[in-house]
Amino acid sequence: MNMKDWFEINYIKKDLIIIRECLNKIDPRYYTLYSNIYLIIGTKKSLLIDTGSGLFPLKPIIQNFIEDNPLIVINTHSHFDHIGSNYEFDEIFIHKNELDIINKPMDISFLKTSPNKIVSLYERSNFTLSPAKNPKVLEDNTTFNLGNLKVKILNCPGHSEGSISLYTNRGELFTGDNAHYGAMYLPIKKELPSFIQMIRSLVDLCIKENINQIFPSHEDYNLNKKFLNSLIESLNKIDPNWTYKKFDDFNNCWKIDIGKFIFMIKKE
């Protein structure tokens, strides 16, 4: 497999492109089929949301779309499948709580035990992701002006301490790993009420800002706010279904299937 075959590329709009990786081909133990990388092309600047797994070079793909347009690169958080190609870009924005993580090499040797042979490509870097060249602090409520579009940052701790979402002034919300169908990795059980409240705040944001399109970083995309309400409903079923949980050794968390969601709840 090569770079061209690895990335699945689709135009959502003429200035919004989704670049997808099949995370399941890297390691099925994450119960996740797709990772979604988004490229927003503005009239003055472009913005890239996450840099993927780093299995194949991403920058050449991006350059084909933006040419000489200045590029802003943002990590929604610091997990390996979102920061893998950070080193290819001149600077990376990430929330201050996770700046130190992308500022140094990341050990991904846990992938060595994946049943899929494609992970052998990481042997080129000794199962280590290179640090970002120039990491920059991302503050809550920061706004990036792309010319015809404005993109605002919203801190949404829960999936990780520095997780963020982003929304545009034309009604698009990019939730990162804070909300998506499939396997969602959540904080410890006693912190779930705060997580649910965070999702409720995203629903309120959708109403306030007239957001009608939601783009998660995994699985289905171009959703609407009914998806968020469905997520809240399912999250509220975790407690009454707690006796049905199973422990997942690889992810070191409790696993509960509820509807279209697989909730992976961090072990205390």
Tens of pLDDT, residue by residue over 241-258, are: 999 999 999 999 999 999
pLDDT value of residue 139? 85
Q: Classify residue 128 by its DSSP letter.
A: E
Is residue 246 one of the residues assigned to a domain? no
pLDDT value of residue 8? 96
Two tokens, residue 20: 């997808």
Q: State the residue range of the domain holding 207.
A: 3-233
CATH number at residue 149: 3.60.15.10
Handedness of CA 234, 235, 240, 241 (dihedral sign): positive
Tokens 């999250």 belong to residue:
235
Question: How many structural domains comprise the chain?
Answer: 1
The one-digit pLDDT tens for each residue of the chain (268 residues) are 667 789 999 999 999 999 999 999 999 999 999 999 999 999 999 999 999 999 999 999 999 999 888 999 999 999 999 999 999 999 999 999 999 999 999 999 999 999 999 999 999 999 999 999 999 999 888 999 999 999 999 999 889 989 999 999 999 999 999 999 999 999 999 999 999 999 999 999 999 999 999 999 999 999 998 999 999 999 999 999 999 999 999 999 999 999 999 999 999 8
**Measuring CA to CA, how many Å separate 98 from each of 50, 93, 104, 121?**
14, 10, 11, 26
pLDDT value of residue 109? 98
Is residue 97 one of the residues assigned to a domain? yes
Two tokens, residue 46: 């472009």
Is residue 254 one of the residues assigned to a domain? no
Two tokens, residue 123: 């042997």
pLDDT value of residue 140? 85
Q: For the whole model, what pTM was predicted?
A: 0.96
pLDDT value of residue 4? 73
